[in-house]
Amino acid sequence: MRDVAPPIPPFERFYLEHRDEVLGYLRRLLGQRAEDAWQETFLRALRAYNRLQHASNLRSWVFTIATNVAMDELRTKPQAPVDGVAVAELERDAFRELEHLTGDLPPTERAAVVLRYGYDLPYTQIADALGSSEEAARAAASSGVRRLRRTHERHA
């Protein structure tokens, strides 16, 4: 048996499918600075698109790019403001309560928490996005959640 990877879709289709959720993700990580990062994310995707070998996991691929762009941004200009507009879209209750506080998290923990609880990505794909092992991704998310709880309790 041979694995048959899905064909690479025309970029337009890929773009329409992911542009909104990637913007939402970057807003959670970067607040008002998300728009430039969003454009940079899809330009990077387009630069690499004709070298893609297969179309498995294009969603986690574009989240990886977005995470890299956001990390670069957070490292050079830390303390991103986090706006509250994205809160209403969230599906996970626990995360919904805590999400407005993720701006205080270190970049890696913030990305891990948002990808896991905001976008429901499995840890294998979060690890890809963070360029780390699955264990490290799990640790970053759980450390982020613990940190959020402590902050939440202080504010409560």
Partner 1 sequence: MNVTPELDSRFREAALLEGLVDVRYDVVESPVGDLFVAATDRGLCRISYWPDGMEESLAHTFGPRVLRSPLDEVRRELDEYFEGTRHEFDLTLDVRVAPFHADVLAELARVPYGRTETYGSLAAKVGRPRAARAVGTVMNRNPIPIVLPCHRILGANGSLTGYAGGLDVKLRLLQLEGAMLA
Q: Which residues form the interface with partner 1 (CB under 8 A)?
A: 8-13, 15, 19-21, 23-24, 27, 35, 38-39, 42-43, 46-47, 49-50, 52, 85-86, 89
The type of residue at 62 is: V
Would you say 19 or 96 has its CB closer to partner 1? 19
Q: Least distance to partner 1 from the beta carbon of 58, Å? A: 11
Would you say 30 or 137 has its CB closer to partner 1? 30
Find all residues with CB under 8 Å of 5, minimum gap 6, and list them: 53, 54, 55, 56
Would you say 117 or 123 has its CB closer to partner 1? 117
Q: Could you give the C-alpha distances from 141 to 39, 60, 124, 144, in angstroms and in order?
A: 26, 17, 13, 5
The answer to whether residues 79 and 31 touch, using CB atoms and an 8 Å cutoff, is no
| Among 120, 6, 2, CA closest to 56 | 6
The answer to whether residues 84 and 100 touch, using CB atoms and an 8 Å cutoff, is yes
Q: Least distance to partner 1 from the beta carbon of 102, Å? A: 15
Give, in degrees to the nearest 5, the angle at Cα 111 between 14 and 129: 50
Would you say 11 or 91 has its CB closer to partner 1? 11
Would you say 40 or 128 has its CB closer to partner 1? 40
| Among 108, 126, 124, 119, CA closest to 24 | 119
